[in-house]
């Protein structure tokens, strides 16, 4: 325990929301503790590129201690929070210790939701952590390796069939990346696998892809994926998944690789706080992100159900989490200094972006919409800009330039086991 006369602020989770809050409190007169079960901050929007062998984990992650090493009022604790003792104002850790707080910010994000079919998790992994991405990369690459020597046509077809469940940004980006990997980047390394050997199927239960985008851009994404050879199945729900096949409605599709991108559920924060939550498990918060009935406790990111002045739910994306985290930091700073509280939170929506593949993307700024190469360049610039650290920005930009010119993926390494040994770890919004 760190004894201090300053108000004690504890942040649980060093994702986008938690880290934004920590940095915004750099000059506040507080004793700040950041707790995370991982020692790194992860740029989740690019995890799918780790899973599809475009980038390595170190290019989209940065040690938390390195990020905050110049912040004199902050310390970092590597541990897992198991509960919150609201009466004693303390956070309990897995090792048995407790960390007291005067102000608590929970930014523990979300994990995968299988809509009551949790048994699918073992055979249809999603990507929320570095471990998820590297396991999935091994699974995808091993499918090609096994298919190379497989003589049974039916078994080979199942090995080279990749099914992505969910047509949001993650599903669309994953489908495009696997299509490029299977049709352009990797086939030259094999002798018996042809570009047309692979089958990539994107399944979406709703009427269109990218439902948060304008319909014209959703249609453009669908056309672009289909030109890349992706089969897009709209209005079809997945009814069962096993290690050998996927049931799409009443139709069985043999497939050895299924990737889940269909939904998320909040972390256990509502259980810790015994606070009301919505159907997705998100804590219902006040207009300053505080938790009703819990003085000086705040929740942001995918863990929070926040309705803005317009009645719309704050989206579960990185910019929203960062803005919310910074806002709560200003609220806490004002409280400890005895100053007037900031104006009510308003989300600044800078637009939606999704990449579809090589030099293809869709961008919606509200006032303008772009598609194709220019949209892809915008997407690339934005994602490189928001990476932490000059080294990461430089290496990612260089990797993308190389991939753009050569169609080659430089991280085609099979490391570890593709089997899921643990359940999803919780991290901040992507």
Q: Which of 3, 121, 157, 173 is catalytic?
A: 173
User: How far, in Å, CA of 52 to CA of 46, rounded?
Assistant: 10
Cα dihedral sign for 116, 119, 120, 121?
A: positive
Nearest to 323 by CA among 110, 17, 22, 25: 17
User: How far, in Å, CA of 203 to CA of 248, rounded?
Assistant: 8
Q: Which stretches within 107-262 are classed as H helix? A: 130-148, 153-159, 169-180, 215-227
Q: Please confirm, yes or no, whether 215 is among the known catalytic residues.
A: no
CA distances from 108 to 131, 280, 410 (A): 17, 14, 32
List 42's β-bridge partners, or say none: 61
Residues annotated as part of the active site: 173
């Amino acid at each position: 325990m760190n004894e201090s006369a300053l108000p004690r602020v504890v942040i649980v989770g060093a994702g986008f929301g938690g880290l934004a809050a920590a940095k915004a409190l750099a000059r506040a007169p507080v004793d700040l503790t950041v707790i995370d079960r991982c020692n790194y901050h992860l740029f989740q929007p690019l995890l799918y590129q780790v899973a599809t062998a475009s980038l390595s984990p170190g290019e989209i992650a940065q040690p938390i201690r390195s990020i905050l090493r110049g912040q004199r009022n902050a310390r970092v604790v590597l541990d897992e929070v198991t509960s919150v003792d609201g009466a004693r104002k303390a956070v309990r850790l897995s090792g048995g210790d407790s960390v007291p707080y005067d102000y608590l910010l929970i930014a523990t994000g979300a994990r995968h939701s299988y809509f009551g079919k949790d048994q699918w998790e073992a055979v249809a992994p999603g990507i929320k952590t570095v471990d998820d991405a590297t396991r999935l990369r091994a699974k995808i690459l091993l499918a090609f390796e096994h298919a190379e020597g497989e003589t049974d046509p039916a078994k080979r077809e199942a090995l080279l069939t990749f099914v992505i469940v969910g047509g949001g940004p993650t599903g669309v980006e994953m489908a495009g990346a696997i299509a490029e990997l299977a049709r352009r980047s990797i086939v030259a390394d094999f002798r018996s696998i042809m570009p047309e050997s692979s089958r990539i199927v994107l399944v979406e239960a709703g009427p269109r892809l990218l439902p948060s985008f304008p319909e014209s851009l959703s249609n453009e994404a669908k056309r672009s994926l289909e030109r890349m050879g992706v089969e897009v199945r709209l209005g079809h729900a997945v009814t069962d998944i096993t290690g050998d096949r996927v049931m799409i409605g009443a139709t069985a599709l043999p497939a050895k690789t299924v990737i889940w991108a269909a939904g998320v559920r909040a972390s256990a924060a509502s259980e810790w706080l015994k606070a009301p939550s919505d159907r997705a498990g998100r804590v219902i918060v006040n207009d300053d992100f505080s938790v009703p009935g819990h003085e000086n406790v705040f929740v942001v990111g995918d863990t929070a159900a926040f309705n803005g002045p317009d009645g719309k739910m704050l989206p579960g994306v990185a910019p929203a989490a960062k803005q919310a985290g910074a806002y709560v930091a200003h609220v806490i700073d004002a409280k400890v200094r005895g100053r007037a509280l900031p104006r009510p939170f308003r989300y600044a929506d800078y637009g939606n972006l999704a990449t579809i593949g090589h030099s293809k993307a869709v961008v919606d700024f509200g006032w303008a919409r772009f598609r194709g190469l220019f949209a892809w360049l915008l997407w690339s610039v934005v994602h490189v800009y928001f990476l932490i650290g000059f080294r990461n920005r430089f290496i990612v930009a260089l990797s993308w330039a190389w991939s753009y010119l050569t169609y080659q993926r430089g991280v085609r390494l099979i490391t570890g086991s593709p089997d899921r040994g643990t359940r999803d770890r919780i991290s901040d919004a992507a």
